[in-house]
Amino acid sequence: MYRRRHRPGRDISFSFDSFLDLVANVVGIILRLILVAWVGARAYTGVVKTSSPSPATKPSPVLTEESPPLAELAALEQTRRDIAQAQQELLAHLRRQEAARQSSQQDQQLLASVADERQRLQRELDTLEERRKQVEAEAARIEIHLPQLRQRAQTLTKQMQELSQSPIVRKELRYQTPVSEVVQSEELQFECRAGRVSFLDVEAFLREIRRAMKDQEQELRVRWEITNRTAPQGAFRLRYVIARERDLLDSVAETKSPDRDSSFSYGLVAWYAEPIARERGESAAEALRAGSEFRKIVDHLDPRQTAVTFWVYPDSFALYRQLRDYLVARDILVAGRPLEEGMEIGASRKGTASRGQ
């Protein structure tokens, strides 16, 4: 169907050149009027008729060239009126031009505002179109996977029905009475950290310390305590402290160095385990597997003579529970000592003994 196209409206523009053209035209009209009036006045040649004077009347004065003729005055007055009218028309025309200019500026501002609004709506339309495409793509993807989801749901429903009809398998767990007792027997110690269990052979370290204590007796004559380290055993070594006992006078006086000529007694007052391998130990699955290092140690223990202590860090309580259940099922006494992250495994005269269940 044919539609008539509307031509865009022409903007009314008013410039200083247009104003000069208008003023020149008006001034030309005025000059023409003045010229016409002047030519008419000069061309006037009327003769005044005179009559014989009567004795009773006084003769009227005769017009001379010096007196202005009435036609010339009338023409000048008409010229003034024309000039005044031309001035009024000029002012009216200027007002219309100014109004047209202001209206044009308002129209341009309105057009600019409409163009901005159109661009904003176009951006919103583009955004909605992009969102529509995304929704259609998501719907298409869901439509593709819908049969698979339905099949998976049917499979799960069938499995649930089979499980509900199958007999319940009960696992019997046996735990020691929840009353702990101080460990008095031989004690094996393990570290549970980062989900792995490592054996800490404290008894081997203590035997080494006892052999070295006799060599350090002379040094304790002039010092209150000595700190030393053992050789590595497995994934650890011990940092230990041997101290000379203070008598009552030394404790009160707090002397800096002991009397080297006096007799004294000494002994191990504290030890701390220092790991020498960052990657150490076994995971729960590895430790409970037959032939693992953990089972080589614990499977041959006599429950009447040996207890097991676990030093447990916050990230390994699940590991500790699995190992504890394995040992409790074999009637082995188990003690758990929780540690905060950053704390060392250690013992001292001021510490507490392990309590097992």
pLDDT tens digits along 303-347: 888 899 999 999 999 999 999 999 999 999 999 999 999 899 988
| CA-to-CA separations, 146 to 133, 159, 165, in angstroms, rounded | 20, 20, 29
- pLDDT class of 144 with cuts at 50, 70, 90: confident
What pLDDT score was predicted for residue 14? 53
pLDDT at 26 over 60: yes
30 near 86, Cβ under 8 Å?
yes
What is the C-alpha R_g of the chain?
61
Which of 15-19, 71-75, 135-139 shows the lowest mean pLDDT across its residues?
15-19
Hey, what are 246's tokens? Answer: 């203070």
For residue 58, pLDDT beyond 60? no
Structure confidence by residue, pLDDT tens digits, 7-24:
555 555 556 667 767 777
Backbone angles phi, psi at 322, to 5 degrees: -65, -45
Residue-wise burial string across 216-225, b where 16 or more C-beta atoms lie within 10 A, e elsewhere: eeeebeeebe
Query: Tokens at residue 261, please?
Result: 């000529």
Total number of residues shown for the chain: 357
pLDDT band at residue 62 using 50, 70 and 90 as cut-offs: very low
Residue with tokens 């009475």, as numbered in its chain: 177
> Which of 49-58, 199-208, 278-287 is least confident?
49-58
Higher pLDDT, 61 or 299: 299
Residue carrying structure tokens 């305590």: 225
Question: How high is the mean pLDDT of the chain?
Answer: 79
The DSSP 8-state label assigned to residue 230 in this structure reads P
State the pTM of this model: 0.47
Mean pLDDT computed over 107-134 = 90
Whether 68 shows a pLDDT value over 70: the answer reads no
For 188-201, what is the mean pLDDT?
94
**Percentage of residues in the chain with pLDDT exceeding 90?**
27
pLDDT for 12: 52
* Single-letter residue type at 112: A
Strands of the 266-275 sheet, one edge to the other:
225-229, 236-244, 266-275, 346-348
Domain range list for the chain? 14-42+68-164, 181-356
79 against 196, higher pLDDT: 196
When comparing pLDDT for 159 and 349, which is higher?
A: 159
Higher pLDDT, 171 or 264: 264
Rounded to whole angstroms, what are the CA distances from 175 to 182, 251, 327, 329, 357?
18, 48, 10, 7, 8
pLDDT tens string 166-181: 777 666 655 555 545 5
The mean pLDDT value for 194-214 works out to 90
Residue of 21 and 44 predicted with greater confidence: 21
What is the pLDDT at residue 176?
A: 53
Residue 340: the pLDDT is 93
**Residue 2 banded pLDDT, cuts 50, 70, 90:** very low
Burial class (CB in 10 A: 0-12, 13-18, 19+), 316: buried
